[in-house]
């Protein structure tokens, strides 16, 4: 590993949410300065809830709020199910965050869900999502990889992130931006996911992991040789100090990796 990631840990959900807010808004600010748009990849699982708590909080100044009208939101992974299905990451984000944005105050983000037309063909769904990325991030032949301003990732109890699972051959994919998986060990089995090279190329990467259920895997990822080979560990290894981990104390109990309690 080059420079190590930064590990933040907070006592409760509201402290964690305000730190995530501060971090995301500082990445928003940097992206808007760079190119006038904030391109974000979001995950499903437990993340959208924390994200909503972070971003929907009232603020007193214009400088300190999410300028959603300048956001382009993509999915780090998605399940191959209808967009209104219980397992859909889009549905989760919509219910937790998108539907709750007071758009007259914050504006409306541009959201890029998967195309339901391809539910019967998961490879085609991945190819089409890659085309969506191509048309947003410039032609495939002119940029080697899409450059997300920020990827917001989860960490499963097995160390998976996006729909990149431990030991899965998809971890070795070096060309495609967007991959399909038909044998996900966590249901549902059919999904699409950003590839590891795309994840590693992002300007910034933030993991959000909370609760005692994550403490064993975080210890492994942050402290053991084996953990470095897990998908989350590979992100730490490959992206180094572009990576920040936002956790609560329960998730890092017993973890000796140095941690910070403020940004
Ligand atoms: O299946 C998935 O799981 C991961 C981790 O979820 P969590 O509930 O343990 O935080 C999530 O990041 C991914 O987007 C999702 O499809």
Tokens of 128: 């089409």
Closest to 219 (Cα-Cα) out of 234, 238, 233, 206: 233
Supply the pTM of this predicted model.
0.97
Residue 139 has pLDDT above 70, yes or no: no
Q: Model confidence over 245-256: pLDDT tens digits?
A: 999 999 999 999
ipTM of the shown complex: 0.98
Confidence tier at 62 by pLDDT (50, 70, 90): low
Q: How far is the CA of 161 from the centre of ligand 1 (A)?
A: 7
What residues flank ligand 1, with Cβ below 6 Å?
A: 43-47, 76-77, 89, 154, 156, 161, 163, 186
Alpha helices in the chain (DSSP H): 13-35, 47-55, 89-96, 103-106, 122-137, 196-201, 215-223, 231-239
Which numbered atom of ligand 1 lies nearest the CA of 76?
A: 14
Q: How far is the CA of 24 from the centre of ligand 1 (A)?
A: 19
Q: How far is the CA of 157 from the centre of ligand 1 (A)?
A: 9
Q: Residue holding tokens 């002119």? A: 142
Which numbered atom of ligand 1 lies nearest the CA of 43?
A: 14
Least confident range from 92-96, 102-106, 123-127, 182-186: namely 102-106
Which numbered atom of ligand 1 lies nearest the CA of 184?
A: 1
Confidence tier at 143 by pLDDT (50, 70, 90): confident
């Amino acid at each position: 590993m080059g420079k190590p990631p930064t590990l933040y840990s907070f006592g409760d959900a509201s402290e964690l949410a305000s730190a995530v807010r501060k971090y995301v808004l500082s990445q928003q600010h940097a992206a808007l300065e760079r190119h006038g748009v904030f391109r974000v990849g979001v995950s499903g699982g437990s993340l959208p809830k924390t994200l909503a708590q972070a971003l929907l909080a009232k603020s007193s100044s214009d400088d300190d709020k999410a300028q959603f009208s300048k956001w382009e939101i993509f999915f780090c992974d998605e399940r191959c199910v209808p967009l209104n299905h219980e397992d859909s990451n889009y549905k989760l984000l919509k219910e937790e965050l998108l539907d709750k944005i007071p758009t007259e105050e914050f504006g409306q983000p541009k959201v890029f869900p998967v195309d339901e037309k391809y539910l019967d063909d998961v490879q085609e769904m991945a190819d089409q999502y890659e085309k969506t990325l191509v048309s947003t991030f410039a032609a495939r032949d002119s940029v080697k990889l899409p450059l997300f301003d920020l990827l917001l990732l989860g960490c499963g109890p097995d160390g998976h992130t996006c729909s990149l699972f431990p030991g899965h051959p998809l971890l070795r994919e070096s060309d495609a931006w967007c991959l399909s998986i038909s044998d996900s060990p966590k249901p549902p089995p059919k999904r699409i996911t950003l590839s590891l090279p795309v994840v590693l190329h992002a300007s910034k990467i933030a993991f959000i992991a909370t609760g005692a259920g994550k403490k064993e895997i975080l210890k492994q990822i942050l402290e053991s040789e084996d953990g470095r080979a897990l998908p989350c560990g590979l992100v730490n290894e490959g992206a180094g100090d572009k990576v920040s981990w936002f956790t609560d104390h329960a998730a890092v109990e017993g973890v000796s990796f140095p941690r910070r309690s403020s940004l």
